[in-house]
Amino acid sequence: MTSPAQLGDIEDRADVERLVRAFYGRALVDPMIGYLFVDVARLDLEAHVPQITAFWETILLGVQTYRGGAFRPHAVLNAQSPIRRAHFERWLVLWSTTVDELFAGPRAEVAKAHAQRVAGAFHRRLQGLPDEAEPTSLPMAISITRHGPGGLS
């Protein structure tokens, strides 16, 4: 097994595609989420790989190759077969494990962190929950009063 010190970081599109293909190699046969790709979405892997590679290339390398909305296909899929929190959690485990086995470095860490954000945001949107960053989820106002000597009574 390769140690993290021996692994390189994600450097180019070829690395991103390698990561994407390795991930889907796991995801398509996974007993928990594989059916979503194979039976529900009927994913054409060869057509999908360039799109998802462009998505991750845009995130990780700053190359603006992705043109599209990542959420809509998930909403369509969710309408066909509900995507649960456990599905997102499993997706994250498979993604992070794949990243860690192939790469180490700042971009590899971004790949895992961004996947975490995307999974959380997609799950919340599919469930109709507010985004964690929305101000409406925070208290509207606080009031500070001081009691005791010299304070309000």
Confidence at residue 45, expressed as pLDDT on a 0 to 100 scale? 94
Say if residue 97 is exposed, middle or buried (CB neighbours under 10 Å; 0-12, 13-18, 19+): middle
- For 49-59, write each residue's pLDDT tens digit: 999 999 999 99
- For 104-132, write each residue's pLDDT tens digit: 999 999 999 999 999 999 999 998 865 55
Confidence at residue 85, expressed as pLDDT on a 0 to 100 scale? 92
Domain ranges of the chain: 4-131
Four-way CATH pick for 4-131: 3.40.50.10490, 1.20.58.100, 1.10.490.10, 3.40.50.150: 1.10.490.10
Coil/strand/helix, residue 29: coil
3-class SS letters over 1-14: CCCHHHCCCCCCHH
User: Token pair for residue 132?
Assistant: 């964690």
Q: What is the dihedral of CA 122, 127, 132, 136, to 10 degrees?
A: 140
Residue 15 has pLDDT above 90, yes or no: yes
Q: What is the mean pLDDT of residues 21-25?
A: 98
